[in-house]
Amino acid sequence: MKLIDNKIKLILNTYSGLPVEVYILFICKMINCMGAFVYPLLSLILTQKIGFSIEDAGFFVTFTAFFQAPCMLLGGKLVDTIGRKKVLLIFQTLGAFCFIICGFLNPSYTLAKFIMCASCFYSIANPAYDSIIGDITTKENRKASFSLIYMGLNLGFAIGPLVGGLLFKNHLKILFIGDAFTTLISIILIRYFIKETYRKNYTLEKAEHGSIFKVILKRPILISYSLLMLIFQFAYSQWGFAIPIQLETLFGDNGAQYFGFLGSCNGIIVLLFTPLITVLTQKYNLLSIIATGGILYAISFGCCSFISKLSAFFIIVVIMTIGEVFIATNSGTFINNLTPSSHRGRMNSLLPLIYGSGYTLGPTIMGKLINSIGLSDAWLIIGITTCISAILMYFSNYTNKINYKNF
């Protein structure tokens, strides 16, 4: 009992004394993700409501993500020039209004186009979040801050997909409007409680002159990190694409609702394990922790090759989610620890763009694999590839000329 009390006190101490803005962003993420109804069910919206084939749905998701690439780069540049807060407010508002329009449209290609527009606007705003957190934190409290924001995100996701799954069948319009409404609430909180955060930092975070590519070449470990994370993101993209399709194949019309249950399970596991994992991994190398998350991805997605019972999917989600926590709570910390404040917006757009291409290409490649070799063999390929990438990441720290101690 005393050991448990000590762990609880250690967890509470980890999250106490953080900058006030971190707690505000925690609330904003939680509210925003409580209304995240659309994207978790996007593949089902495209196939069941609009009438896309599985392969066409995968192509659409990839095509949308392709347009997000220049949007993220634009957002990173704007974040480093006109400011983090302005970019966040302007483009998240535009994305929310696109979803409001979707709420008044019938399922059609026009609806799909507005979903694409919303995705692009949100992509421009994305680099601002991590840049704000990087600005207001130090190396000592950054990991705890990213961990707390991540918990807020998943606290919302514990509710959002569940509600979305219930609305999907008969209330598609409310699904879009509800998503937009929660986004606007979070924007209002940011407008009144978050100040512009751009400032100067020290050591590897000290402002530098020159292009973003010059900065990256001074930190070659970021290149290998991004390429290996690309594989992890490719695997993780199947959580929102192939797993809903597999559930629909196995359970018919109940697939969307079951996916909502799994999404809620994902959020609950995050809430239970994130504080404990954050505390237990404080003294470990960040890349080793992220690589361990990759191993858990390989196990969970590889096992999807032969499972068919709903209970087995819940076990898979638990394993995957623990891996997700390992990666999500350390990735932003790793990048921002190595990024000069003058380039933080661009780094938080360029690197996620590189490894995010794995998430982008995931649905299209998986769609083709499913059609050519079947879902079971496709899962095996993902499991093996992800395992190899995780092993390479374990050793990437020792193949770089610069010693990034404690990173």
Q: How far apart are CA 264 and CA 270, in angstroms?
A: 10
Share of the chain above pLDDT 70, in %: 90
The tens digit of pLDDT for each residue in 72-117 reads 888 888 988 888 899 999 999 999 999 999 999 988 889 999 999 9
Q: With respect to residue 1, please indicate whether it lies within any of the assigned structural domains.
A: no
pLDDT of residue 90: 94
Residue showing tokens 């076990």: 315
Q: Could you report the per-residue pLDDT of 329-340, keeping only the tens digit for each?
A: 898 888 888 777
Mean residue pLDDT of the chain comes to 83
pTM above 0.75, yes or no: no
Look at residue 69 and tell me if it is in a domain.
yes
* 136: Cβ contacts below 8 Å, ≥ 6 apart: 19, 21, 22, 145, 197
Structure confidence at residue 138 as a pLDDT band (50, 70, 90): confident
Predicted local distance difference test score (pLDDT) of residue 382: 93
Percent of the chain with pLDDT over 90: 25
Alpha carbons 314 and 318: distance in angstroms, whole number:
6
What count of Cα atoms within 13 Å lies in the side-chain half-sphere of residue 370?
A: 21
pLDDT score for 32: 84
Q: Please state which of the ranges 36-40, 188-192, 384-388 shows the lowest mean pLDDT.
A: 36-40
C-alpha dihedral sign at 28, 31, 32, 34: positive
> What pLDDT is attached to residue 406?
45
CB 313 within 8 A of CB 242: no
Burial (CB < 10 A; 0-12, 13-18, 19+), residue 1, is: exposed
Q: Does residue 153 surpass a pLDDT of 50? A: yes
pLDDT digits (tens, 9 = 90+) for 230-264: 999 999 999 888 898 888 888 887 887 888 888 87
Question: What span, in angstroms and rounded, lies between the C-alpha atoms of 298 and 292?
Answer: 10
Q: What is the 3-state secondary structure (H, E, C) of the chain?
A: CHHHHHHHHHHHHHHCCCCHHHHHHHHHHHHHHHCCCCHHHHHHHHHHHHCCCHHHHHHHHHHHHHHHHHHHHHHHHHHCCCCHHHHHHHHHHHHHHHHHHHCCCCCCHHHHHHHHHHHHHHHHHHHHHHHHHHHHCCCCCHHHHHHHHHHHHHHHHCCHHHHHHHHHCCCHHHHHHHHHHHHHHHHHHHHHHCCCCCCCCCHHHCCCCCCHHHHHHCCCHHHHHHHHHHHHHHHHHHHCCHHHHHHHHHHHHHHHHHHHHHHHHHHHHHHHHHHHHHHHCCCCCHHHHHHHHHHHHHHHHHHCCCCCCHHHHHHHHHHHHHHHHHHHHHHHHHHHHCCCHHHHHHHHHHHHHHHHHHHHHHHHHHHHHHHHHCHHHHHHHHHHHHHHHHHHHHHHCCCCCCCCCCC
Mean pLDDT, rounded, for 389-396: 89
- 254, 118, 134, 335 alpha-carbon torsion, rounded to 10°: 70
The answer to whether residue 40 sits within a structural domain is yes
pLDDT digit string, tens, across residues 356-375: 888 878 888 888 888 888 88
Q: What is the CA radius of gyration of the chain?
A: 20
Report yes or no on 404 lying in a domain.
no
Q: How confident is the model at residue 399 (pLDDT cuts 50, 70, 90)?
A: low
The total domain count for the chain is: 1
Residue 215 lies in a domain: yes
pLDDT digits (tens, 9 = 90+) for 6-28: 556 667 677 888 888 899 999 99
Report which of residues 233 and 281 the model is more confident about: 233
Q: What is the mean pLDDT of residues 182-191?
A: 92
- As a residue count, the chain comes to 407
**pLDDT at res. 264:** 78
Domain range for residue 140?
19-396
* Range in 144-153, 260-269, 384-393, 394-403 the model is least confident about: 394-403
For residue 13, tell me if it sits in a domain.
no
Give the confidence band of 171 by pLDDT, cuts at 50, 70, 90.
confident
The answer, yes or no, to whether residue 150 has pLDDT greater than 60, is yes
User: Is 209 within 8 Å of 203 (Cβ atoms)?
Assistant: no
Does 380 have pLDDT greater than 90? yes
What is the rounded average pLDDT of the residues 29-54? Answer: 84
pLDDT score, position 386: 95
pLDDT given for residue 202 in this prediction: 41
| pLDDT value of position 121 | 93
Please, are residues 187 and 72 in contact by the beta-carbon 8 Å criterion? Answer: no
Q: Is the pLDDT of residue 402 over 70?
A: no
Tell me the pLDDT band of 293, cut-offs 50, 70 and 90.
very high
Domain with 28 in it: what CATH number? 1.20.1250.20
pLDDT greater at residue 217 or residue 138: 138
Higher pLDDT, 57 or 189: 189
